[in-house]
Amino acid sequence: MALNYYMNIVDTSTSSKNSSLDNSIKNIPLFEIEPVEYKVLDTLITDIIFQSVASVKNFKNFEICRRINVLAMGESTQRALDKVGINSTSPEIPGSSGLIKMLGKKLIKRKFAIVKGLDGLEEVHDHIIKYGADAENIVCYKRKKFLNYMEIREKFIEADVVIFSSTFAAKIFFENIYIANNAMSFLCISERIKEYINKLGYEAKTINYFSEDLFNEIKKAI
């Protein structure tokens, strides 16, 4: 599919990248984020991991981040932390596998807090426990589907390209919105999301969502 400036590109992220393309990319989230009450139980934390932008936006105890090691799941989460004045480190390849690689296996005597959403990914938590460290999950938000997708479905009728930043968004899209005969290109910000869509029987490609030239990234992908 040849990309031109009249194509209908939809980003399904709840925290869409602020693009320089003005209105060339429409942001249509497929679910909402609700805060969840939480407590930080361990006061001897050595490392804290933020698994998403939403985990940053719904966390309230940033004072503990100023005295410990702070890790972000990816570049978008790292940017969200920057906005609240917290320095952090993120893996070269965003996602659980990249963060696990960055953590390594020498984790004994470290105490991790993992800030995440309800039913969020557990791969990082399991890796930390496996290699002898302690890990406390801090669940500070939940993802909630909309009651009805009829109006949202109409917004996708003329979409040429759809960008997914989570498997949850992809699941909602293919269950509630997608009409199989629609000619669309599916782009993902991670291999995990791409593999999920591939398993559903649809072709998808990954892009560098955080590129300074996102439009060119989309062009190269499709």
Residue 167: name the closest of 10, 12, 20, 2 by CA.
12
Domain spanning 33-144, CATH class = alpha beta
Q: Are strands 111-117 and 134-145 parallel, antiparallel or unpaired?
A: parallel
CATH of domain 9-30+147-221: 3.40.50.10090
d(CA 58, CA 133): 25
The CA R_g of the chain, rounded to the nearest whole Å, is 18
Higher pLDDT, 85 or 191: 85
Out of 5-14, 113-122, 139-148, which region has the weakest mean confidence (pLDDT)? 5-14
What average pLDDT does range 148-171 have in this prediction?
93
pLDDT 10s digits, 130-159: 999 999 999 999 999 999 999 999 999 889
Helix axes 123-130, 96-103, angle to 10 degrees: 20
Domain ranges in the chain are: 9-30+147-221, 33-144
Give the mean pLDDT of the chain: 90
Do strands 185-188 and 25-27 pair parallel, antiparallel, or not at all (unpaired)?
unpaired
The pTM assigned to this predicted structure is: 0.85
